[in-house]
A and B are shown apart, each in its own frame.
Chain A
Amino acid sequence: MSADNVPSPSTDDALSHAESSQSQAVSRTSAAISNYLRAAVQVGDDAEENYQRALADLRRYPEAATVQLAAAYGSVHAHDYPLRWALVFAAGELKHQSALTFLSYVVETPIPPEPREPSHGFSIVGEETILRTTAIEAIGHLASEGSDEAVDTLLRALKQPSISIRRAAVQGLRETKRFRNLRDRIRAELPPDQHFLLTLSTPRVDRVPQVPDPRRFLSEQARSIETEPAPTLPGGVPKTRKPPRRK
């Protein structure tokens, strides 16, 4: 957004803390799920090993893990989208048929309406849609492994009003052995103005149009100032106290 008559900034908003704002949903789940969620955000020499170990723990009892992931999903604050997304992603990582019911539930739960019209970039419908496309991608994996039930779920998803859900379902169905036989049915399910979803290309990022010479898109003011790059990463991570005082 840009504005010609720019109002002065208000800088006196105040943020307070609820008694406990850290989500409690995860602490109520099993150690396996908590470990997995922690391992999923680790990096470093042994991060992959830790992640695979946590995933293996989760996969050891996939039925139980699914039940717990679903329970956690149900108890998470509706607007804690990063956590809800992580739980859906974890269910997909099980790569097990037992997760299908939960994943289907996520996809088929109606998307709540926006409480207020989004003004710039943030959309409840958008965040809810991303949860569902993540679930569909996991269902697509099950479908590609031969699950007819997963294929049926993807076909049902084509009837949903969201273009992203349809697009993800089409992509999932493309990866199945049945796609050739299902193509006409898929086309019939899609609104005519969305038949292009069947022909979307899947290029690598370096094959799509880039931004030639991004400097052209700097404002005049930005072009006139030479900025200093971020400092080189240290070997360790020193402690910090606070930002500098106002100049």
Chain B
Amino acid sequence: MANCTVPAHDNNSSGDSLYGPRACWQAFVDWCWNTHSFNYDSWHNGFGYDDCCNSDLPLSRTFAAFWLLNYSADDYNNDDYSNNMLHWGRHYVRDQMHDVTARCGDGTANATTFTGGSNSRVELYLPFFYQRDVVGRAATLVHESRHFGGKSHDANFPSWSAFPVGKSGADSSWDYQGAWMFDVLYLWWFYAAGARTTTALQQSAKQRGNFLLDNAFASHPGFTIT
């Protein structure tokens, strides 16, 4: 068992004061909790189960990210896989992500997906809850879902990366269609065409997408988001 403390945070700038109340809707809460089979036990002990509309707590902040993921296409019900990623992103995460578990973590990861056994799950950690804005969290859900889909990172971070140079965790290229590509593509579509959101969060998505394009691929994709 680990103990941790809610860190300093500002719900306006993270987008939680906007998305938290939106996700505070019983039909959505029920759907989200059941569809993604949230791990019941892990969301107690301060993580928000008994106060799931409290934007200061991890559960509300997680629901906020799922809300953004599900309703940011103008015609969000059109989530066919033949559409663009702003539409099918939610479908993919819904089909793929399960056993969503809250944990403190050690501060070095947002989330980790464990696959391949009966205990497969995604664990979400404090940096996910408090050091990412809502769209950053949603992109992390997309990223982790790609791991659920069976795709691990296949390369080491290149010499210029802000991530640990020479260590594993990068994707070899954009065409590898790995978790970083899914992550960036979602951020990019959200920046370009996200609905029911704010200019600030779209700009934040652009900055994060560009950072990942520069640093998370062994071979730079050769383009940038403008």
> When chains A and B are docked, how far (Å) is the Cα of A152 from the Cα of B36?
51
> When chains A and B are docked, how far (Å) is the Cα of A219 from the Cα of B144?
13
Whether the Cβ atoms of A203 and B223 lie closer than 8 Å is yes
Say whether, besides A2-B113, A200-B223, A239-B26, A9 and B160 are in contact (CB < 8 Å). Answer: no
**Binary interface profile of A, 198-232, with partner B (CB < 8 Å = 1, else 0)?**
00111111101111011101110011010111111
Whether the Cβ atoms of B224 and A14 lie closer than 8 Å is no
Whether the Cβ atoms of B24 and A11 lie closer than 8 Å is no
Cβ of A119 within 8 Å of any chain B Cβ, yes or no, is yes
Instruction: For A204, list chain B residues within 8 Å (CB).
Output: 192
CB distance from B48 to the nearest CB of A (A): 8
Q: Which chain A residue shows the least CB distance to B97?
A: A222
Whether the Cβ atoms of B114 and A23 lie closer than 8 Å is no
Whether the Cβ atoms of B95 and A225 lie closer than 8 Å is yes
> When chains A and B are docked, how far (Å) is the Cα of A84 from the Cα of B85?
29
Instruction: For A239, list chain B residues within 8 Å (CB).
Output: 24, 26, 53
Task: Please give the number of chain B residues whose Cβ is less than 8 angstroms from any Cβ of chain A in the complex.
Answer: 143
Cβ of A179 within 8 Å of any chain B Cβ, yes or no, is no
Instruction: For B32, list chain A residues within 8 Å (CB).
Output: 230
Whether the Cβ atoms of A83 and B24 lie closer than 8 Å is no
Whether the Cβ atoms of A13 and B103 lie closer than 8 Å is yes
Say whether, besides A6-B117, A9-B121, A211-B182, A202 and B13 are in contact (CB < 8 Å). Answer: no
> When chains A and B are docked, how far (Å) is the Cα of A223 from the Cα of B96?
9
**Binary interface profile of B, 2-33, with partner A (CB < 8 Å = 1, else 0)?**
11111111111111011001101111111111
Whether the Cβ atoms of A210 and B164 lie closer than 8 Å is no
Most buried by A among B17, B56, B119, B149: B149
Q: Which residues in chain A, 92-137, are within 8 Å of chain B measured between CB atoms?
A: 114-123, 125-127, 129-130, 133-134, 137
> When chains A and B are docked, how far (Å) is the Cα of A200 from the Cα of B193?
22
Choose from A40, A125, A168 the contact partner of B210 (Cβ within 8 Å).
A168
Cβ of A141 within 8 Å of any chain B Cβ, yes or no, is no
Say whether, besides A16-B46, A133-B210, A6 and B25 are in contact (CB < 8 Å). Answer: no
Whether the Cβ atoms of A229 and B79 lie closer than 8 Å is yes
Whether the Cβ atoms of B13 and A37 lie closer than 8 Å is yes
CB distance from B135 to the nearest CB of A (A): 10
Say whether, besides A163-B160, A218-B95, A16 and B53 are in contact (CB < 8 Å). Answer: no
Choose from B8, B30, B70, B143 the contact partner of A244 (Cβ within 8 Å).
B30
Whether the Cβ atoms of A15 and B39 lie closer than 8 Å is no
Number of A-B contacts (CB under 8 A): 380
Cβ of A180 within 8 Å of any chain B Cβ, yes or no, is no
CB distance from A77 to the nearest CB of B (A): 4
Instruction: For B3, list chain A residues within 8 Å (CB).
Output: 13-16
Instruction: For B225, list chain A residues within 8 Å (CB).
Output: 202, 205
Whether the Cβ atoms of A205 and B192 lie closer than 8 Å is yes
CB distance from B196 to the nearest CB of A (A): 6
Say whether, besides A171-B226, A204-B192, A1 and B112 are in contact (CB < 8 Å). Answer: yes
Whether the Cβ atoms of B150 and A2 lie closer than 8 Å is yes
Whether the Cβ atoms of B110 and A122 lie closer than 8 Å is yes
> When chains A and B are docked, how far (Å) is the Cα of A4 from the Cα of B99?
17
Q: Which chain A residue shows the least CB distance to B11?
A: A22
Instruction: For A233, list chain B residues within 8 Å (CB).
Output: 71, 76
> When chains A and B are docked, how far (Å) is the Cα of A114 from the Cα of B108?
9
Whether the Cβ atoms of B9 and A80 lie closer than 8 Å is yes
Say whether, besides A4-B116, A218-B92, A243 and B49 are in contact (CB < 8 Å). Answer: yes
Cβ of A10 within 8 Å of any chain B Cβ, yes or no, is yes
Instruction: For B114, list chain A residues within 8 Å (CB).
Output: 1-3, 6-7, 9
Most buried by B among A120, A163, A227: A120
Instruction: For A11, list chain B residues within 8 Å (CB).
Output: 39, 41-42, 101
Whether the Cβ atoms of A234 and B200 lie closer than 8 Å is no
Most buried by B among A38, A237, A243: A243
**Binary interface profile of B, 117-157, with partner A (CB < 8 Å = 1, else 0)?**
11111010101101111000000100100111111100000
Cross-chain pairs A/B with CB under 8 angstroms, 30 sampled: A5-B116, A6-B115, A9-B42, A12-B42, A15-B4, A15-B58, A21-B56, A23-B8, A38-B12, A43-B197, A47-B198, A51-B198, A79-B7, A82-B133, A83-B13, A116-B106, A121-B111, A121-B140, A126-B162, A163-B161, A164-B215, A167-B224, A214-B88, A217-B150, A219-B96, A219-B115, A230-B76, A234-B25, A238-B26, A240-B53
